[in-house]
Chains A and B, each alone.
Chain A
Amino acid sequence: MAEGRDACEAILNRIRTANTSARAAASAAEYPAIERNYQQRTTLDRETILKTFLDHLHEYDAHVFEANPDTLACAIAEVLKSHDQKSAIVADDFPEEDLPTGFTWQRESKSTKDQLNTTGGAIAGCEVAIAHTGTIILRGTRQLTLLPDRFLCVVYENQIVDTVPEAMARLEPYKAEPLTFVSGPSATADIEMTRIRGVHGPRFLDVIVVRD
């Protein structure tokens, strides 16, 4: 590791010399003084925010469903039935009582990579969703929401914010955890700029928005 430390010292010295000789060092504002005049909070009402979120999900070709806390289990059953799915792997923290009967459930932590790879689908909630960009943000559950071909995400209305800064503020307590921002199914345009869905992640994204 001695060599690494040498390089570290050498690099830091070069930076310090550069910053004393380059006047720029003095003129850069201190961190708290950096102006942030971009939009922080939304000016839209709840209904518009929700509509924006749904519109953006539709644009990504996600399948969107609406439910309330009492009909959530039913909605999950409907979604799975529409894909002829009889089982799914479920995130560890997903509430048992929201899972409909008549299906086979398996928890994420009890599953191997191979099982995740071959299962019909995955179910998980999210931490925050951003309407302005149509983004869902997941804490952990990285393999579960990545390997299966279908991913069903349950989003509660109070988890939806409008702007990116609002979402980042909500994520502040979890900022050192593994986080994944998902905006539509995976996609590529590498071949002649033709947009193709589902290169490596789930090819199908279903979203149930729960309103109270």
Chain B
Amino acid sequence: MTIRVGEAAEAPSFQKAAFKLLDDAQLRKNVRHATDVISGKRAIVVKEQQDWQQLRATASAIKQHTLAHLDEYLLKFEAACTAAGGHVHWASDADEANRIIVDLVKQYGGKEVIKVKTMTSDEIGLNKAFEANGIHPHETDLADMIVQLGHDKPSHIVAPALHRNRQQVREIFMREMGLSELTDEPQDLTNAARQYLREKFLKVKIGFSGANYLLADTGGVCVVESEGNGRMCVTLPDILITLAGIEKIIPSFRDLEVFLQLLPRSATGERMNPYNSLWTGVHKGEGPQHFHVVLLDNGRTRILADPEARQTLHCIRCGACLNTCPVYRQTGGHAYGSIYSGPIGAIVTPQLFDMEHSQSLPYASSLCGACYEVCPVKINIPEVLIHLRGRIVREQQSGANIEAIGMKAMARVFSSGRRLEAAQRLGRLGQWPFVSEGWIKHLPGMLGNWTAVRDMRPLPKQSFRSWWREHEKEKKEGADG
């Protein structure tokens, strides 16, 4: 089994990536603006929902219960979906899921696929697999389309193109849609997308979607969206393929009354998002006549096996934790090196698979707790972050790496006043080549990890201990004399 999360394996560490991104003033401005707008709207509509805390508590209880009986609910879903005329496929990892989906498209003789925004398909790298097999995927969510046409990467789980401004979108659209005239008014840009995609919606015969919820009792699927592209993709084609992580299951139709109240308010600050589509198997004369669901593991059962971290699987991908996170707000999503960014990304990615860069992610947080506060399903992200940090430290200590040896030496130095003073004397002598304008901005070697994300003051000319000694001596002399 090879677990993969998009192209995260090639990503640099968070600290390295963030360092570069901090210089991108335009990106930071766009990210700050977008997250401010969404957070502001969210705060207003959450306040007006007076039973918000009760809804959160129930959501969390439903998720806990479902995970504890995940095998039963998945089988129940499979039986109900099949009875309604759908087909259920199981995929252990990304490659298997890609193979199943590509084979289905080939089997139906499709050359093009229209896609609804789905994180999970980015996770398994589906578009690449499609292209490698001569199948052209069309992203139909406006933001995803901006990312796809701009040969770019998504930077937010709800608003993937929030790092682009209108001038940039105009350039991308003119180039990729072959338009000779287009203003940078959002209305005109949106119209261009509407025209460009309408033709695809009517013509392409295979639709592809993710799922916000899988309903175990009916075998139904629910997709929540704003633009109507989702409705188009799940309604107009003859064939519909849906990919969903196994944690997307909820026990019954009724449970939607909880999640449909929490998700839109948290995600986009709306009382309800413009469209929710629910479908169950196939219905004669109404919508797609062939329906397939692919249930994906890709590391989720591994998260399930860790009692401290399994709450990660409660996530309904609303993005509220990103918008509120002081670290995300400074760096944007690309620094996280994964399609899952922000606080939730910092806990999901390293658990799904342990590549080198993901070891840096649990440190991409100030542990301020804002993400826990806004999370509609009460995931205690700081708690999971600390748990993962512990796991990383334990793994590193068991290996004899330089950092671990260095830390042990430090512990020795700090445990003795005499040794500390000797070290400080050495430090004062050794630091001068790195001091500029009263700050140390870069340290060599291993210490560089520290200065990669912060500037520090040089050691003072005199240590507190030696000042205290002199001060006491003077006092004593004063008293004596």
- B-contacting residues of A (Cβ < 8 Å)? 3-5, 7-8, 10-12, 14-19, 21-31, 34-39, 56, 109, 113-114, 117, 130, 132-135, 140, 142-143, 146, 164-165, 167-169, 171-172, 175-194, 196, 198-201
- Please name the residue on chain B nearest to A24 by beta carbon: B307
Q: Are the CB atoms of A38 and B231 closer together than 8 Å? A: no
Q: Are A190 and B159 in contact (CB under 8 A)?
A: yes
Query: Which residues of A have CB within 8 Å of B74?
Result: 11-12, 15
Judge whether A11 and B68 touch: CB under 8 Å: no
**Cα distance, A194 to B38, chains bound together (Å):** 11
A176 touches B307 (CB 8 A): no
> With A and B bound together, what is the CA distance between A146 and B161 in angstroms?
25
Roughly how many angstroms separate A201 CA and B230 CA in the complex, as a whole number? 10
Q: Kindly identify which residue among A12, A34, A196 contacts B61, using a CB–CB cutoff of 8 Å.
A: A34
Chain A residues whose C-beta falls within 8 Å of the C-beta of B197 in the assembled complex: 200
Q: Which residues of B contact A4 (CB under 8 A)?
A: 89-90, 100
CA distance A7 to B162 in the complex (A): 37
Q: Does B65 contact A (CB under 8 A)?
A: yes
CA distance A17 to B70 in the complex (A): 12
* Contact call B305/A168, Cβ cutoff below 8 A: no
Instruction: Kindly list the 5 A-B residue pairs having the minimum CB-CB distance in the complex, ordered from nearest.
Output: A201-B228, A200-B228, A186-B228, A28-B68, A14-B301
Closest to A92 in B: B285
Q: Is there contact, CB below 8 Å, between A24 and B159?
A: no
The residues of A that contact B307 with a CB separation of less than 8 Å are 22-24
Q: Nearest A residue to B277 by beta-carbon distance?
A: A180
The reply to whether B280 and A181 form a contact with Cβ atoms under 8 Å apart is: no
**Per-residue A-contact encoding for B280-300, CB less than 8 Å = 1, 0 else:** 110101110000000101000
- Chain B residues at the A interface, C-beta cutoff of 8 Å: 30, 33-34, 37-38, 50-51, 54-55, 57-58, 61-62, 64-65, 67-71, 74-75, 84, 89-92, 96, 100, 140-143, 146, 159, 161-162, 164-166, 169, 186-187, 189-190, 193-194, 197-198, 201-202, 215, 217-220, 226-229, 231-232, 235-236, 246, 251, 253-254, 256-258, 260-261, 268, 270-281, 283, 285-287, 295, 297, 301-302, 304-307, 310
Indicate if the CB atoms of B91 and A142 lie closer than 8 Å.
Answer: no
List the A residue with the shortest CB-CB distance to B143. A190
With A11-B246, A31-B251, A194-B186 in contact, do A22 and B306 touch (Cβ < 8 Å)? yes
- A-B pairs with CB below 8 Å: how many? 256
Chain B residues with Cβ under 8 A from A190's Cβ? 141-143, 146, 159, 161-162
| Apart from A36-B54, A168-B256, A193-B34, 16 more pairs, CB < 8 Å | A5-B90, A11-B90, A14-B305, A15-B70, A27-B64, A28-B65, A31-B65, A39-B54, A130-B272, A133-B272, A142-B231, A176-B219, A183-B272, A190-B141, A191-B161, A200-B227
Give every chain A residue within 8 A of B34 (Cβ-Cβ).
Answer: 192-193
Residues of B within 8 Å of A16, CB to CB, are 71
B65 touches A11 (CB 8 A): no
* A and B contact pairs by CB, cutoff 8 A, 18 listed: A11-B301, A19-B67, A36-B58, A109-B285, A117-B202, A130-B272, A146-B228, A180-B275, A181-B272, A183-B272, A185-B274, A189-B37, A190-B142, A191-B169, A199-B190, A199-B193, A199-B227, A201-B274
Q: Considering the chains assembled together, what is the distance between the CA atoms of A29 and B51 in angstroms?
A: 21
Check B304–A18 contact: CB distance below 8 A: yes
Please give me the residue from chain A that is nearest to B193 by CB atom: A199
In the docked arrangement, what's the CA distance between A201 and B274, Å?
A: 10
Question: Which among A117, A168, A175, A187 is the interface contact of B226 at CB below 8 angstroms?
Answer: A187
Q: CA–CA, A192 to B33, complex, Å?
A: 8
Residues of A within 8 A of B90 (CB): 4-5, 7-8, 11
Closest residue of chain B to A130 (Cβ to Cβ) is B272
CB distance from B269 to the nearest CB of A (A): 10
CB contacts (< 8 Å) of A172 on chain B: these are 253-254
Per the bound structure, the CA–CA distance linking A18 and B69 in Å amounts to 11
Give the interface centre of B91, B141, B275, B276 by most chain A CB atoms within 10 Å.
B275
Known: A16-B71, A28-B64, A164-B260. Is A37-B57 also a contact (CB below 8 A)? Answer: yes
A29–B58 alpha-carbon span in the complex (Å) = 11
A198 to chain B: closest CB distance in Å?
Answer: 7
Taking a contact as CB atoms under 8 Å apart, the answer to whether A28 and B50 are in contact is no
* Complex alpha-carbon distance, A27 and B67, angstroms: 11
With A113-B202, A191-B166: A134-B194 Cβ-Cβ less than 8 Å: no
